[in-house]
Structure 1
């Protein structure tokens, strides 16, 4: 394995033995041995359940990679195999560096030991010497922030206190590889922020991070790449934004269409030689340099052009993903000024409309509509729904078409942004997506000269120096 590779998974298969009845487990332990002694052909009293099926991927040193997928897709199983707490049926897993795993937090604690004793025991298991633990104990204690309970038996802890202490131990061993399984939502908001801050610090120090979560925003904000798994198979790896969109499309697909959606996702990821979002980002940066004046010194022209929103026919997303239609279809998405002029280059501080049409090919109850604005990397900035679930349109007839308009103030700083559109209604008495389009439209907020606001959103801050 190359020295630049942190984790290499090759053709991993994991099968679990599933028994129909408890007594079959005993039969499997006894009968085959007797059959072997007597020279008879034995039978299996179990069925193989393929938790992982020929999974392969590679993670480079310093990468942060997220794994997403529906429940039962094999995410936690592959993490346990990488950590060594579970063995694969076949295939190979190679790791390069000290691993700290945040899997079932607190599961390795001895309830009779104090928190302090469990810290030393767990840190030793993770590979730290007594001297190293002594040097880091104060940091671990401060991070867990459980006060005098550190010297009380763990059996007296609440579940939250136990998780905080376990997280504090694992996160402070300076791992070269950090593996996290749904452990980023422990404790209250202050502790969660501390966890994220520590993980960001570990990432900046060059550690490799691999984690599983159902939080799309976490994957997009923290990860360099993402991996999509389903039914024990790795469907592909791509940018977080791309993978999250594919995951959500698969998650909300109707049962009879899931196999088709799954196949289309695999093909789209395989055929994507160069990530379209990265190419788009490069193109956008180039265009902004051409129009922004910083490279060519066109500040005067920019002053003249500013306050002129306009439509650029070449500003079209190439990352659009459409959910399967389930009784409705969204068409004609566009951004307009309040006067009705179609634009996609907007002026900061002005009000605009995001509009689209929805045609219904079946009669639907309890209908409502939505929109969402995202950054280039896919971070969700905010959106709106047309109504609450209790105050929606009670009935829409077949073949009826509705025009939806969302008005918003453009309080975004110069940059490129994407839009989602969706329509929901009741199918079999449960609210579900009738149609949803990811990255269906995009717009640019025109660069300004001498802009004072920073970041993504302009909060209209004022300053005063005394």
Structure 2
């Protein structure tokens, strides 16, 4: 039985899966269960425990595969733990795998009633909420069409609208705040903020540092199924980013320090922080750890879906970022200057040649870039067989996170400017966190912000 002030209690929860290399190994395991093991164990969660008070908002952060979604499914009772227990007090509305419960043959309207029933609403309650759900989803006449004709985004919008309209005691959200276009995302955030204001308990997974810091009272950091930290959200995000960006040869030691602090065998890396903004004395262990967060090259930072336009007599080669001392790097420090560098081989003679680059977020938002177009640096004529060295120098003003690069060369063909070669998402890079700094968005404009009495 939960204490009256608690909404969720997770007690020593573990989830282990049996991984078989071959299908026949399952039969062998059934036949020789107590004599030999034909599987490997994968621990999605290991000994996780925490309590969440009513009315609080808690974020769960961690890299892909850290156990976040597994934990939410166990809390929602759609997955059973291998050991431990979870107790929940109140009506739960879960935004997990949006639309997975829809019948594709049913219309959107019929699926609203179906999902509402699953969430515990009777017909009268759904009738009362229906207009609000339809208005929130905003899919127009498609509401009475079979959902098998919907786009993925339309299904997710409708599923989100249903789940968010039931006035839950506990709202569980798994990376569902990026549904739809920007206007719809803002409506989602506004509705979640309204639910929070009514005193509901919110538990959600997000890779957005800003969302966690802005919405949450506290945050939980998971890594490889283990709970490493539970506390103020800024500090949790700081530890999460340090796990992501610390070079591999030092990451394990930092992780062990966090685990030791959970067991009470060591202080937190930023023990002695002056404020929740994680500003620390330069002599303590946190400052030493931050000193190790230096620009470097991580060979694992390789984009998985680069796109190349059809070439027109030019090829872009060896796109990379280099530091001021000429070293290739893809883990950068905000506030420092870097150079995007690549070579272009021009196979056919070209006129009016210009080169450019763009920097984008992981969601595809273009933050900016550079081009020699409409400047004195346009090359009037480039002979066939020429190799160009291209450089774009910039000051890194991005906040911590992951970003992608485009590279391009254009020229005049029959009087019209066309791509000679263009590579989209040809390279990726990360920007390291800066202790004590918080910005609302991906760019740090270095505002000098203050307020003083008149």
The match for 1:280 is: 275
- 1:44 offset after TM fit, Å? 3.3
- 1:364 offset after TM fit, Å? 2.3
Output the CA distance in 1 between the equivalents of 2:268 and 2:250: 23
- 1:266 offset after TM fit, Å? 3.6
Task: Call closer, same or farther: CA 1:366–1:233 in 2, change over 3 Å.
Answer: closer
Output the CA distance in 2 between the equivalents of 1:434 and 1:64: 28
Output the CA distance in 2 between the equivalents of 1:241 and 1:68: 11
**Residue 246 of structure 1 contacts residue 321 of structure 1 at CA under 8 Å; is this kept in 2?**
no
Output the CA distance in 1 between the equivalents of 2:52 and 2:159: 26
Aligned ranges 1:346-425 → 2 under 5 Å = 364-365=327-328, 370-371=333-334, 386-387=337-338, 389-390=340-341
Aligned ranges 1:265-344 → 2 under 5 Å = 265-267=258-260, 271=267, 280=275, 322-323=289-290, 325=292
Q: Pick from 222, 227, 234 the counterpart of residue 229 of structure 1.
A: 222
The DSSP-based 3-state class of the residue aligned with 1:2 is coil
Alignment RMSD, CA only? 4.1
Q: Are residues 1:115 and 2:119 paired?
A: no
**Residue 320 of structure 1 contacts residue 438 of structure 1 at CA under 8 Å; is this kept in 2?**
no
The match for 2:352 is: none
Q: Are residues 1:439 and 2:436 paired?
A: yes
Output the CA distance in 1 between the equivalents of 2:431 and 2:198: 45
Q: Are residues 1:96 and 2:76 paired?
A: no
The DSSP-based 3-state class of the residue aligned with 1:11 is strand
**Residue 67 of structure 2 contacts residue 222 of structure 2 at CA under 8 Å; is this kept in 1?**
yes
Output the CA distance in 2 between the equivalents of 1:101 and 1:244: 24
Output the CA distance in 2 between the equivalents of 1:70 and 1:266: 16
**Residue 323 of structure 1 contacts residue 436 of structure 1 at CA under 8 Å; is this kept in 2?**
no
Task: Call closer, same or farther: CA 1:198–1:431 in 2, change over 3 Å.
Answer: closer
Output the CA distance in 1 between the equivalents of 2:291 and 2:16: 32
**Residue 13 of structure 1 contacts residue 89 of structure 1 at CA under 8 Å; is this kept in 2?**
yes
**Residue 59 of structure 2 contacts residue 218 of structure 2 at CA under 8 Å; is this kept in 1?**
yes
The DSSP-based 3-state class of the residue aligned with 2:452 is coil
The match for 2:8 is: 7
- 1:45 offset after TM fit, Å? 2.6
The DSSP-based 3-state class of the residue aligned with 1:183 is coil
Pairs aligned (count)? 344
**Residue 164 of structure 1 contacts residue 186 of structure 1 at CA under 8 Å; is this kept in 2?**
yes
Output the CA distance in 1 between the equivalents of 2:130 and 2:35: 55
- 1:28 offset after TM fit, Å? 3.6
User: TM-score with structure 1 length normalisation?
Assistant: 0.64
The match for 1:57 is: 50
**Residue 56 of structure 2 contacts residue 200 of structure 2 at CA under 8 Å; is this kept in 1?**
yes
What do residues 232-269 of structure 1 show as CA deviations (whole Å, max 9, x unaligned)? 00001111110001000001122222210112234567
What do residues 72-130 of structure 1 show as CA deviations (whole Å, max 9, x unaligned)? 11110000000000000110100111000001000011111111111111111111111
The DSSP-based 3-state class of the residue aligned with 1:364 is coil
- 1:50 offset after TM fit, Å? 1.0
- 1:365 offset after TM fit, Å? 3.1
Task: Call closer, same or farther: CA 1:95–1:326 in 2, change over 3 Å.
Answer: closer
Output the CA distance in 2 between the equivalents of 1:137 and 1:265: 47
Task: Call closer, same or farther: CA 1:199–1:320 in 2, change over 3 Å.
Answer: farther
Q: Are residues 1:199 and 2:162 paired?
A: no
Q: Are residues 1:175 and 2:160 paired?
A: no
**Residue 60 of structure 2 contacts residue 221 of structure 2 at CA under 8 Å; is this kept in 1?**
yes
More helix by share: 1
**Residue 253 of structure 1 contacts residue 323 of structure 1 at CA under 8 Å; is this kept in 2?**
no
The match for 2:136 is: 143
The match for 2:233 is: 240
What do residues 161-199 of structure 1 show as CA deviations (whole Å, max 9, x unaligned)? 000000000000001000000110010001000000000
Task: Call closer, same or farther: CA 1:369–1:21 in 2, change over 3 Å.
Answer: closer
**Residue 103 of structure 2 contacts residue 111 of structure 2 at CA under 8 Å; is this kept in 1?**
yes
**Residue 333 of structure 2 contacts residue 396 of structure 2 at CA under 8 Å; is this kept in 1?**
no
User: TM-score with structure 2 length normalisation?
Assistant: 0.66
**Residue 332 of structure 2 contacts residue 430 of structure 2 at CA under 8 Å; is this kept in 1?**
no
**Residue 9 of structure 1 contacts residue 56 of structure 1 at CA under 8 Å; is this kept in 2?**
yes
Task: Call closer, same or farther: CA 1:65–1:319 in 2, change over 3 Å.
Answer: farther
Q: Where do 5+ consecutive residues of structure 1 fail to align?
A: 36-40, 285-313, 330-358, 372-383, 392-404, 409-418, 451-466
Output the CA distance in 2 between the equivalents of 1:407 and 1:122: 47
Output the CA distance in 1 between the equivalents of 2:331 and 2:244: 20
The match for 2:98 is: 105
- 1:317 offset after TM fit, Å? 11
**Residue 96 of structure 2 contacts residue 174 of structure 2 at CA under 8 Å; is this kept in 1?**
yes
The match for 2:453 is: 449
